[in-house]
């Protein structure tokens, strides 16, 4: 086992015995082999353009994201399925001297596990090539996650599928550093397209998010807590719980769902419970009712509440109940979790009050004149993009302290679970403009890009000439894609933390510093003057 795809990787170098996330060695190795088999599928699918293969690769990449799936049997099954799909599509495609990933075959579990130990990250010896290949694959993993969310809502783009395919094939070739750098930036370009596609899928299906006060309190009825990012799962759960006496609460990255008009018609959709993903062990225990995990961000559950945790989609963990995917265009069947909820006591209160969300690009641009006027009159001197992920390490308090230390004329633009470090602080507003403008989930970082582009257009300046600073927190691969998306748009001077990725080699880091001036954060005292120039 060797895994260094997340920010918390062991000793800042790589997990070698068990993942900091809780991923076991065999699962980590099987994920490596599944990615290897997806490269084999892609070698043929560059020509075949088979949609089943495209969607299999998309879903499988998503399943290997940090904190998504810990189930050994799931990956054994996926590897066998990958071989079947690859061998089916290659029948009509001629490839000369195909890579081992396009030919290796076994249905024996022992042989599969042995092969899995041979095809990991360290199989690439050159450190810089390995670094860029990893950066590309992690960006594509984030792209696959966002593309999957859009796909279940009926939105797809074959060009995005083709790029994921080409990117995987590229990691089997003997490419130069310059060629790989170009592909990494191209990944960012497709990242912007993917997030735009998902934005369209979400808003065309559920309406445009609007400023919304979300309750943090609890009611006396039993409840179901839904976490993750998948809005279609939420929609179907709300439909099936209507009139049952069971309330539905959001958790983690599902919080932004409260701002979509389509969900507001459900009187039993009552608010948000808890905070960022890493607080699950304490918060899930106190919820008392069942919890539904729809996407990544699962923490290995404690025995005290394990029997109340359900997974669906690409999420999996040995011993948890899994709700099967949709078949024949029918809804998922949530009857088991609903019946479970009816037998449970109501949630234990964690906090009270409310928080304001729902400032996606449509909403912000609708009051663009007010924002522009506040900038022109000096009431707003600086915007600071503090998007990305949260994590459990103590050093993450940096982001809370940074938000508190910002001058009163600075506004935070946020998206993703990083916001839980400061979204409940009383930072006030500037002439009615909240000082924390929450665009939504991590994929809604696209909204922050649109806002920045609009401001650049209004002020007739380049994107790097705007009074906008970037202090990005990262944890997993969707945040990697967001970073690459910003780089593809030419955004420079991004501060990244709480530490730089372990998969970035010194030479690759030099390239990023020289071309984009990416720097690690340090202390609030040192970073604040750099990020609040003229504020």
For residue 388, give its domain range: 360-531
Please name the residue that has the structure tokens 């919304």: 212
Domain match, 158 and 252 both: no
Where a domain ends, among 205, 220, 247? 205
Find the CATH number of the domain harbouring 245. 3.40.50.2030
Residue 508: inside a domain: yes
Tokens of 119: 């095809």
Give the β-pairing of 223-227 and 212-215: unpaired
Nearest to 32 by CA among 103, 124, 95, 107: 124
Give the β-pairing of 212-215 and 354-357: antiparallel
Domain match, 41 and 133 both: yes
Residue 351: inside a domain: no
Domain match, 55 and 190 both: yes
Residue 176: inside a domain: yes
**What is the rounded distance in angstroms from the CA atom of residue 355 to the CA atom of residue 423?**
7
Domain match, 174 and 265 both: no
Residue 262: inside a domain: yes
Q: Helices 25-48 and 109-116 sit at what angle, rounded to 10 degrees?
A: 90
Domain match, 237 and 289 both: yes
Express the helix, strand and coil content of the chain in percent, nearest 5 each: 50, 15, 35
Domain match, 396 and 247 both: no
Domain match, 59 and 115 both: yes
Side-chain-facing half-sphere of 289: CA atoms under 13 Å: 30
Domain match, 52 and 197 both: yes
Domain match, 318 and 397 both: no
Residue 170: inside a domain: yes
**What is the rounded distance in angstroms from the CA atom of residue 51 to the CA atom of residue 54?**
5
Tokens of 423: 């979204």
Q: Which long-range contacts (CB under 8 A, 24 or more apart) does 363-367 make?
A: 363/208, 363/209, 363/210, 363/211, 364/437, 364/439, 364/447, 364/451, 365/450, 365/451, 365/454, 367/433
| Contact residues for 518 (Cβ-Cβ < 8 A; gap 6+) | 494, 495, 496, 509, 512
User: H or E segment at 272?
Assistant: strand 269-272
| Contact residues for 426 (Cβ-Cβ < 8 A; gap 6+) | none
Where a domain ends, among 205, 230, 255? 205
**What is the rounded distance in angstroms from the CA atom of residue 465 to the CA atom of residue 487?**
15
Find the CATH number of the domain harbouring 201. 1.20.1270.20
Residue 188: inside a domain: yes
Domain match, 168 and 23 both: yes
Cα first-last separation, the chain: 47
Residue 516: inside a domain: yes
Total domains present in the chain: 3
| pLDDT averaged per 10 residues in sequence order, the chain, 535 residues | 97 96 97 98 97 98 98 98 97 92 96 98 97 98 98 97 98 97 97 97 97 97 98 98 98 97 98 97 97 96 98 97 94 98 98 95 91 94 96 95 97 96 96 95 90 92 95 96 95 95 97 95 96 79
What does the pLDDT read at residue 535? 61
Domain match, 216 and 121 both: no
Residue 355: inside a domain: no
Please name the residue that has the structure tokens 């997340």: 6
Residues 17, 25: contact at Cβ < 8 Å? yes
Nearest to 477 by CA among 187, 278, 231, 101: 187
Where a domain ends, among 342, 369, 385? 342
Domain match, 226 and 299 both: yes
């Amino acid at each position: 086992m060797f895994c260094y795809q997340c920010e918390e990787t062991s000793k800042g170098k790589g997990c070698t015995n068990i993942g900091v996330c809780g991923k076991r060695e065999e699962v980590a190795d099987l994920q490596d082999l599944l990615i290897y088999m997806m490269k084999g599928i892609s070698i043929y699918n560059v020509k075949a353009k088979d949609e089943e293969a495209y969607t299999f690769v998309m879903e499988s990449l998503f399943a290997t994201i940090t904190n998504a799936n810990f189930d050994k049997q799931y990956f054994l099954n996926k590897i066998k399925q990958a071989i079947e799909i690859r061998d089916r599509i290659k029948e009509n495609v001629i490839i000369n001297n195909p890579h081992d990933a396009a030919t290796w075959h076994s249905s024996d579990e022992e042989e599969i596990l042995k092969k899995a130990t041979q095809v990991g990250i360290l199989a690439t010896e050159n450190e810089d090539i390995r670094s860029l290949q990893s950066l590309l694959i992690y960006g594509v993993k984030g792209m696959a996650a966002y593309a999957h969310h859009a796909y279940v809502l009926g939105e797809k783009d074959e060009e995005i599928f083709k790029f994921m395919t080409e990117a995987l094939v590229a990691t089997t070739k003997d490419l130069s550093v310059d060629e790989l750098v170009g592909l990494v930036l191209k990944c960012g370009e497709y990242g912007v397209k993917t997030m735009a596609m998902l934005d369209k899928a979400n808003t065309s299906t559920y309406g445009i998010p609007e400023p919304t006060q979300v309750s943090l309190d609890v009611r006396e009825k039993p409840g179901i807590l839904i976490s993750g990012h998948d809005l279609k799962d939420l929609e179907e759960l709300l439909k099936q719980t209507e009139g049952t006496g069971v309330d539905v609460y959001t958790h983690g990255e599902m919080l932004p769902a409260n701002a979509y008009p389509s969900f507001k018609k459900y009187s039993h959709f009552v608010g948000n419970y808890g905070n960022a993903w890493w607080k699950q062990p304490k918060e899930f225990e106190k919820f008392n009712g069942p919890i539904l995990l729809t996407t990544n961000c699962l923490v290995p559950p404690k025995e005290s509440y394990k029997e109340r945790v359900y997974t669906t989609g690409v999420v999996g963990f040995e011993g948890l109940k899994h709700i099967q995917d949709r078949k024949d265009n029918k809804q998922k069947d949530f009857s088991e979790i609903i019946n479970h909820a009816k037998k449970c006591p109501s949630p234990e209160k964690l906090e009270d009050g409310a928080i304001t969300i729902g400032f996606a690009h449509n909403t912000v641009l609708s009051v663009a004149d007010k924002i522009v006027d506040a900038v022109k009159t000096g009431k707003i001197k600086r915007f600071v993009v503090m998007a990305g992920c949260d994590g459990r390490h103590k050093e993450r308090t940096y982001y809370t302290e940074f938000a508190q230390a910002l001058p009163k004329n600075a506004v935070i633009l946020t998206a993703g679970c990083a916001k839980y470090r400061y979204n409940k602080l009383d930072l006030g507003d500037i002439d009615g403009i909240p000082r924390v403008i929450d665009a939504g989930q991590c994929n809604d970082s696209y909204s922050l890009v649109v806002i920045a582009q609009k401001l650049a257009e209004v002020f007739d300046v380049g994107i790097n000439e705007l009074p906008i600073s970037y202090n990005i927190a990262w944890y997993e691969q969707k945040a990697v894609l967001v970073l690459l998306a910003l780089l593809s748009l030419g955004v420079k001077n991004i501060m990244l933390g709480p530490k730089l990725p372990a998969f970035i080699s010194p030479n690759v880091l030099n390239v990023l510093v020289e071309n984009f001036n990416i720097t690690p954060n340090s202390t609030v005292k040192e970073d604040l003057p750099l990020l609040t120039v003229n504020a």
